[in-house]
Structure 1
Amino acid sequence: MILTDTHTHQYYLFGTPELDLQMQRCFANDIQHLFFPNVNRESIPKVLGTAAAYPGHCYPMMGLHPCEVQTNYLDELAAIERAIADHKVYGIGEIGLDLYWDKTTLALQREAFRIQSTWAKVLDLPVSIHCRNAFDELFELLDEVQDGRLRGVLHCFTGNNQQAKQVIELGLSLGIGGVVTYKNAGLDAVVAELDLRHIVLETDAPYLAPAPHRGKKNESSYLIHIAQKIADLQQVSLETVAATTTQNALQIFRI
């Protein structure tokens, strides 16, 4: 059985003994592939360093997180674009819109998204999209930029059935993480109705730890709990969830 974490920040631990401990726990729980979304220019060395330390298991992406989009965003994007030119990357991310922390940067976030989605289309790379408190704004933007070439994942999907349908119709997959294990979140009912071919798994570690670790620091080895919850909801085996979602991920990221 092989599980794939399509969105984890485990690289934050680069340069610490804890990183290898967490990686060994991943391998013990059959998590063999981990995809690292970059957040800004300062995280680039950690993303690349961790991926280089675990070849065949860890894969770097490059992007500017919407919460990192400030007035200097063009400088940040220039540094990230240089890293893309100099290294093999497997996706553009994480990019997107976030109106939870700061609504005043929406125009800048939109422009950063347009620029990075263009990179993805030109380079034929998937995107990893962050969306928080901004579904309507994101769908409007996706309608604008989707010309049939944009592909990838809406990471940490927590929307309703209609929003899931919209994402799929836009040609994107749904990244399902720890929220699916939370009581009263409502995501479990949505996931139960989805076709597994539209789902990939993720942890977003160190954030959003699944039950039974909710409220603690997350790590990629906890992906096993997310996979088991989806298996229960879909009434299929854990092995079926692992095989299908890993196949989905490897097709998206072209591993």
Structure 2
Amino acid sequence: MIDTHAHIYASEFDQDREQVVARAKQQGIDKILLPNIDLDSIQPMLDTEAQYPDMCHAMMGLHPCYVDQNVDKTLAIIKAWFDKRSFIAVGEIGIDLYWDKTYRAEQEHAFTTQLNWAKQRNLPVVIHTRDSITETLSLLEKVQDGNISGVFHCFGGTVEQAQAINEMGFHLGLGGVTTFKNGGMDKVVPHLDLSKVILETDCPYLTPAPHRGKRNEPAYTQLVAKRIAELTDKPISEIEAITNHNAKTLFQI
């Protein structure tokens, strides 16, 4: 299995990163994809990738929660990284209207700018949407010309939203929310197009049941796969095979 979205470079893993990676391997996780969030996360992310070069693959991008009035300066530094080395995706980018709407215009500017980088470099995008699926689709519509692919990570929306995302050429990243009792995903997952689904944890956040309230980690990807298998009435081996193929094709790994 592939954990397509994990922040294992974060300080939450500084004490036991090696054990976390070992547990992931034991559970059959052979790839862990690392989304960047801001300028401070770049070095820890690259250090983690260097420590586990066969397993970890880095992305580059500016997360919407770290957008502020200095957005253009920050974007210039992020963009310079694409000239220094290769990354598997532009991410994590997007729109977050949950925490703070102060810099909404700057968030939209950063999102559109990074979408255009992805188009120019032929890279997929990893999109963060919180309270913003409709707004994000509307922004995407303006730049999607058939040359942008990617994933709406941490999907927890409706069947209709899933279909709209797929129709625009994007995958759905399913993680811990899929396992939540009152998350509503039990009504959504059976109707999803599995050829557009990939697995993720978003660790250390959004820990799947039965470990909610504890730190999330890549080993828990298998709990997400198990829940999808239950909800779609398919063997877990089939879910693993489908999502692996989807992730490898999307990220070219």
| Count of aligned pairs | 253
Matched, 1:166 2:164: yes
TM-score by length of 2: 0.97
**Does the aligned pair in 1 maintain the 2:12–2:204 contact within 8 Å?**
no
In structure 1, stretches of 5+ residues that fail to align are none
Rounded to whole Å, the distance in 1 between the matches of 2:69 and 2:126 is 22
Matched, 1:92 2:90: yes
User: What SS is found at the alignment partner of 1:93?
Assistant: strand
> Aligned to 2:74, which of 73, 76, 79?
76
Rounded to whole Å, the distance in 1 between the matches of 2:151 and 2:13 is 29
Rounded to whole Å, the distance in 2 between the matches of 1:42 and 1:79 is 11
RMSD: 1.2
Which is worse superposed, 197-206 or 130-139?
A: 130-139
In structure 2, stretches of 5+ residues that fail to align are none
How far has the Cα of 1:110 moved from its partner? 0.5
Q: Which residue of 2 aligns with 1:32?
A: 30
How far has the Cα of 1:78 moved from its partner? 1.3
Aligned residues: percent identity?
Answer: 45
Q: Which residue of 2 aligns with 1:146?
A: 144
> Aligned to 2:16, which of 9, 15, 18?
18
Name the structure where helix makes up a greater proportion of residues: 1
User: What SS is found at the alignment partner of 2:25?
Assistant: helix
How far has the Cα of 1:199 moved from its partner? 0.3
Which is worse superposed, 6-15 or 49-58?
A: 6-15
**Does the aligned pair in 2 maintain the 1:206–1:218 contact within 8 Å?**
yes
User: What SS is found at the alignment partner of 1:130?
Assistant: strand
How far has the Cα of 1:113 moved from its partner? 0.6
Rounded to whole Å, the distance in 2 between the matches of 1:159 and 1:139 is 13
Q: Which residue of 1 aligns with 2:202?
A: 204
Q: Runs (4+) of structure 1 moved beyond 4 Å?
A: none
How far has the Cα of 1:16 moved from its partner? 3.0
**Does the aligned pair in 2 maintain the 1:14–1:46 contact within 8 Å?**
no
Letter in structure 2 aligned against 1:100: Y
TM-score by length of 1: 0.97
